[in-house]
Structure 1
Amino acid sequence: MNFELSEEQRMIANAARDIAKDFPPEYWREKEENGEFAEEFFKAISDAGFMGIVIPEEYGGGGYGMTELLIAMEELAANGCGMAGVWYMVLTEVFGALTIVRHGTEEHKEKYLPKIAKGEMEFCMALTEPDAGTNTLAIRTTAVKDGDEWVINGNKIFISGADRAKGMLIIARTTPREKAEKKTHGISLFLADLPNDAVKVNPIPKHGINYSKTCEVSFNNLRLPENALIPPLDGGWYHLLDTLNPERMSFTTAAIGISRLAISKAVEYSKQRKVFADPIGSYQGLQFPLAEAYATLECAELMNFKAATLFDQGAHYREVGAAANMAKAVAVEAGIKAVYWAMQTFGGYGYAKEYDVERWWREINLIRLAPVTQQMALNFIAEHILGMPKSYRT
């Protein structure tokens, strides 16, 4: 095992840190409070080539893998951007670029990848439904063939970036569940161009991350050309897992990056703030929980890079999923502890917006719920790694 970054990986990390300097916490505080998309940030990461990290060079990208994408994400998050350092890249580069690179047709690659790499096309993924959250196999959105077109109908929820995206990855049933050969059969993936009058988008007011909108989406006889299908027909479930595992790794990276940022600010403040003549950073009541969280986060980072390495090497989706789920389960618990104690370090100021830690607290708590709950990550570990009986039905 080699724990050293390559020269190219160090360059990516350094470039991410340089970008983050131009978008400090106060920038994101303003964007969050005003509910504004960070246009300047999106342009900066696009100009730096970050939106094309996983895109092959022949389509205008960098030709790197998931490992390099995680490096860029973590450094952006940890050096001032918080969740935003991961969020924008997940929506377009994981849901759009990575899915198309690994499973799209040559026509899909030529159409979408150069635009994504240049930052000219934002993407989103329409997966979650009101009655089918974690249980993706229960989705009700349908795609029915009508001549040489697909007609899509259904409702999706919590679709981030749908208000701005020019491209959408849609997950739909092409064979009804009751007629499918097995429960994972009958799900297909489609690529759609937006905006489209048949796609209605309604933003949902939410607790945090308001520099990006999360939306309800409805499809009312959305017609797509035959070649909008990412093959194979009815066999999209396993391709979808190839998107969900990187999404999981990305959110783990967000937990690590947010926590690194919160801890660094807490440590800085603890050296300056004195009570009874001593800096509060000298109190073991603050030292121990922050140190323990940091140590655990370092371990989670190693497991997350293992997941990325397995993914880049083409390992089986279940082997990748095992590492990704373990990394997330550990990173989230450590991250919540890290940001909690960072807030405690600031005392009353931790509750004040001007110190930003309250925003990171809201961001880290999302990762308990998305893209998979802690409980479902633990279910995966118990069933697929420990070999215990399945604890739920699909």
Structure 2
Amino acid sequence: MEFALSEEQQMMVETAKKIGAQFGLDYWRELDARKAFPAEIWQAICDAGLCGAALPEKYGGSGLGMLDLAVIVEALAEGGGGSTLGQLFMVNPIFGGVSISKFGSESQRKAWLPKIISGEMHCCMALTEPNAGSNSLEISTFANVDGDGWRLNGQKIWITAVPSSHKMLVVARTTKLDQVKRRTHGISMFIIDTDREGVSHNEIDKLGTHTMPASAVFFDNVRVQPDELLGTLDHGWNELLDVLNTERIVTTAGLVGAGRLAITQAVRYTTDRKVFGGKPIGSYQGLQFPLAQAYAELECACLMNYRAATYCDQGVPYGSDANMAKLIAAQAAADATERSMQAMGGMGYSKEFHVERLWRDARLFRFAPVAEEMVLNFIATHDLGMPKSY
């Protein structure tokens, strides 16, 4: 396995680092305080060609792969955005770009991919429901046949970046659960306008990730046009899983960058801070060991993520690797931000030193976009062959 980055990848990382430095920690602190979407940095990312790294050249992308996208997100996250950078890539080049490039019609690709890649179009995905949670096969949002299209009714929750989006990838049932032989049958994906008549949404007040709002979304007899079906009618489940596994890769990359950034802040502070006879507090093993442990775990998650991304690019099954990488990255980032705050004492709790935001934001990913308990369930049954518990 090749570990060294290619010259092209190194150039992309340098570009990402420059953008990350341009929109550094102060930029993100100010946006967090205002709960404002990071539109300026996202446009800079698109202008630099980084949004479309893994999307086809035919539509304005670079035609590279998920490994390239992972190293880009890591570098951007480490520059100041933290784990939120993964969410930016999740909603646009993944939920929008990957789903359309892999499963869209040629007319859908031509109409939408160039706009996503340029930053003109923003996306979101509506999957999770109040009464289904992680059990996505139990979703009840339903698309009834209406002439040559459908009428969509139902409710979603914890949907990221709805207010800034133009298009929404909606996962719905098109055949009732009690009418199918397999629970995975009867699920379809649609891409609709977020401002479509009958679509409404309310923002959820939450602990962190303030620059990426989460919303409850309601569909009240929403008209869906025939050319807004994405992929295969009634057979969208496996197509959806392909999108979600790539989501894991950018999520993990953002967490790795966030953890590294927090540790960097702690190392800088504890090297400068001198007490107890003038020695830097960073010289004490009680502060060194937790940070070193978190760093080691982050680097392991990073390598597992690279393997998942490489397998994805090669067309080899990568779901287990993507899930394991996300599991370890979320735990390691939580430890890195927590231990960095602890090492900095009271100043780690202050907004002046930024780690508190990294801590608040990273905490989300212990249970999102998939809870660590569900990842462990998957590993136990899929990789270890143990009996299913649910």
Task: Give the letter aligned to residue 17 of structure 2.
Answer: R
State the TM-score, normalizing by the size of structure 2: 0.98
What does the per-residue CA deviation read over 1:321-373, in whole Å, with 9 as the maximum and x for residues that have no partner?
A: 11011112222222221111100111011111111111111111101010011
Partner of 1:297: 298
- CA drift of 1:194 comes to 2.8
Task: Give the letter aligned to residue 334 of structure 2.
Answer: I
- CA drift of 1:83 comes to 2.1
Partner of 2:355: 357
Over the matched positions of the two proteins, sequence identity in percent amounts to: 49
* Superposed CA RMSD: 1.0
**Secondary structure of residue in 1 paired with 2:144:** strand
Alignment of 1:210-221 (within 5 A): 210-221=210-221
Point out the more displaced range, 53-62 or 80-89. 80-89
Partner of 1:111: 111
Partner of 1:269: 269
CA distance in 2, matches of 1:87, 1:300: 18
CA distance in 2, matches of 1:329, 1:81: 20
Partner of 2:167: 167
The answer to whether the 8 Å contact 1:76/1:86 transfers is: no
Alignment of 1:139-150 (within 5 A): 139-150=139-150
CA distance in 1, matches of 2:210, 2:327: 25
Partner of 2:63: 63
CA distance in 2, matches of 1:308, 1:13: 16
Partner of 1:383: 381
Partner of 1:83: 83
Alignment of 1:90-101 (within 5 A): 90-101=90-101
**Secondary structure of residue in 2 paired with 1:50:** coil
What does the per-residue CA deviation read over 1:227-268, in whole Å, with 9 as the maximum and x for residues that have no partner?
A: 211231110000000011111122211221110000011111
- CA drift of 1:222 comes to 0.9
Partner of 2:372: 374
**Secondary structure of residue in 1 paired with 2:121:** coil
Alignment of 1:181-220 (within 5 A): 181-220=181-220
CA distance in 1, matches of 2:386, 2:65: 33
Alignment of 1:247-258 (within 5 A): 247-258=247-258
Task: Give the letter aligned to residue 142 of structure 1.
Answer: F
**Secondary structure of residue in 1 paired with 2:125:** strand
Alignment of 1:43-62 (within 5 A): 43-62=43-62
- CA drift of 1:85 comes to 2.1
- CA drift of 1:37 comes to 1.5
The answer to whether the 8 Å contact 2:13/2:75 transfers is: yes
- CA drift of 1:51 comes to 1.9
**Secondary structure of residue in 1 paired with 2:205:** coil
**Secondary structure of residue in 2 paired with 1:52:** coil
Structure 1 alignment gaps of length 5 or more:
none
CA distance in 1, matches of 2:38, 2:298: 28
Alignment of 1:6-45 (within 5 A): 6-45=6-45
What does the per-residue CA deviation read over 1:67-114, in whole Å, with 9 as the maximum and x for residues that have no partner?
A: 111111110011212123222121111100011111111111011001
The answer to whether the 8 Å contact 2:86/2:255 transfers is: no
Point out the more displaced range, 182-191 or 223-232. 223-232
CA distance in 2, matches of 1:361, 1:161: 20
CA distance in 1, matches of 2:38, 2:362: 20
Task: Give the letter aligned to residue 285 of structure 2.
Answer: Q
Task: Give the letter aligned to residue 345 of structure 2.
Answer: G
The answer to whether the 8 Å contact 2:122/2:165 transfers is: yes
CA distance in 2, matches of 1:194, 1:367: 25
The answer to whether the 8 Å contact 2:155/2:217 transfers is: yes
**Secondary structure of residue in 2 paired with 1:51:** coil
**Secondary structure of residue in 2 paired with 1:4:** coil
**Secondary structure of residue in 2 paired with 1:125:** strand
**Secondary structure of residue in 1 paired with 2:366:** coil
Partner of 2:312: 311
- CA drift of 1:5 comes to 0.8
CA distance in 2, matches of 1:360, 1:223: 40
CA distance in 2, matches of 1:377, 1:91: 21
Task: Give the letter aligned to residue 45 of structure 2.
Answer: I
**Secondary structure of residue in 2 paired with 1:223:** strand
What does the per-residue CA deviation read over 1:256-301, in whole Å, with 9 as the maximum and x for residues that have no partner?
A: 1110000011111111001111101100001111111111111111
CA distance in 1, matches of 2:301, 2:16: 21
Task: Give the letter aligned to residue 389 of structure 1.
Answer: P
Point out the more displaced range, 75-84 or 370-379. 75-84
Partner of 1:231: 231
CA distance in 1, matches of 2:114, 2:302: 31
- CA drift of 1:122 comes to 0.1
Residue 285, structure 1, aligned to residue 283, structure 2: no
**Secondary structure of residue in 2 paired with 1:271:** helix
- CA drift of 1:174 comes to 0.5
CA distance in 1, matches of 2:330, 2:85: 17
CA distance in 2, matches of 1:47, 1:189: 29
The answer to whether the 8 Å contact 2:231/2:239 transfers is: no
Task: Give the letter aligned to residue 390 of structure 1.
Answer: K
- CA drift of 1:39 comes to 2.1
CA distance in 2, matches of 1:12, 1:85: 16
State the TM-score, normalizing by the size of structure 1: 0.97
